[in-house]
Amino acid sequence: MLTVRVGKIKMARRQHFKGWLLKCMLVLVPLVVFITLVLQKFSNPFKEDWRRSADFDMSSLISKAPSILSDGSAAMKIDCAEDHFSFFMHSGAANVVPPKIYIQNNLVLGAALNNAGYGINIVVMNGRTGEVIKTGHFDMYSGDVNPLIDLLQSIEIGSVVLVASYDEPSSKLNKDARKLIAGLGSSAVQSLGFRDNWVFVGGKGAAVKSNFEKYLKSDGATNMYENWPELIELQGCIPKYLE
């Protein structure tokens, strides 16, 4: 006589299914954990590296962008109001790179124009029209200060004066010359020393000290070019002279 034990068979099937499910869980759970760890390891660093790369590229472009192009033209145009004149200038670098002075985005003093040299470089501009009246450079190491004094004394009221140093600007700069430059609005000229770097914009007839001035003292402990400090730049908008 054949006897079928249904209850025991169902119980066996349930136990078999539970065993199979447990085996699947033992395999799938570690696999999911492993996949999650792999995604975290290789996904997040990629995003971070991309972000750092983007930041690095941008900062490099900003910090390494030259102020002056190799052909002598201004690298960035300076726009000012109609009643102002734009200027950009930099001092010399050691005794190798001459200074440059731009007015209204045009080069008015520099090696390309053959009118820059050692010592003190000067551009005199008509403060009403923006016309360049005079340019000159005066060797203050082995030259004579008198031609510089003559030029400073000849400057008329209403003129704008732009000055940039190169190599050595102070050895022959006597009290009379310093006083005349101070009268144009300079605060640093009285302290100007051996191989200091200096850029300045002032005016004849100005009643206040100029805000357009930078001065960097030569110091063997901090100099960028051994016996000379680093090149310095200055730019801005000069108000037209109004009588």
CA distance linking residue 113 with residue 116, whole number of Å: 8
Least confident of 19-23, 117-121, 159-163, 198-202: 19-23
**Domain identity same for 129 and 212:** yes
- The tens digit of pLDDT for each residue in 27-67 reads 566 666 566 554 554 443 333 322 332 232 322 222 333 44
* Number of structural domains the chain divides into: 2
Full residue range of the structural domain in which residue 137 is found: 84-239
Is residue 48 domain-resident?
Answer: yes
CA distance linking residue 122 with residue 202, whole number of Å: 11
**Domain identity same for 140 and 208:** yes
Is residue 181 domain-resident?
Answer: yes
**Domain identity same for 102 and 204:** yes
Nearest to 165 by CA among 195, 186, 190: 195
**Domain identity same for 235 and 124:** yes
pTM for the predicted model, two decimal places: 0.70
Q: Using alpha carbons only, what angle is made at residue 155 by residues 94 and 195, rounded to the nearest 5 degrees?
A: 15
Higher local confidence (pLDDT), 6 or 241? 241
Least confident of 51-55, 194-198, 216-220: 51-55
pLDDT beyond 90 at 179: yes
**Domain identity same for 47 and 112:** no
Strand order in the sheet with 100-103: 106-109, 100-103, 84-90, 233-239
**Domain identity same for 55 and 98:** no
| Per-residue tokens: 82 | 């109609």
Nearest to 200 by CA among 183, 188, 217: 188
Cβ neighbours of residue 226 under 8 Å, at least 6 residues apart?
Answer: 94
Q: Which amino acid is at 97?
A: V
Is residue 70 domain-resident?
Answer: no
**Domain identity same for 90 and 30:** no
Helix (H) or strand (E) holding 152: helix 146-154
- Mean pLDDT (whole number) for 206-221: 88
Is residue 78 domain-resident?
Answer: no
Is residue 191 domain-resident?
Answer: yes
Longest dimension (CA), the chain: 139
- The tens digit of pLDDT for each residue in 132-151 reads 999 999 999 999 999 999 99
**Domain identity same for 163 and 198:** yes
**Domain identity same for 112 and 57:** no
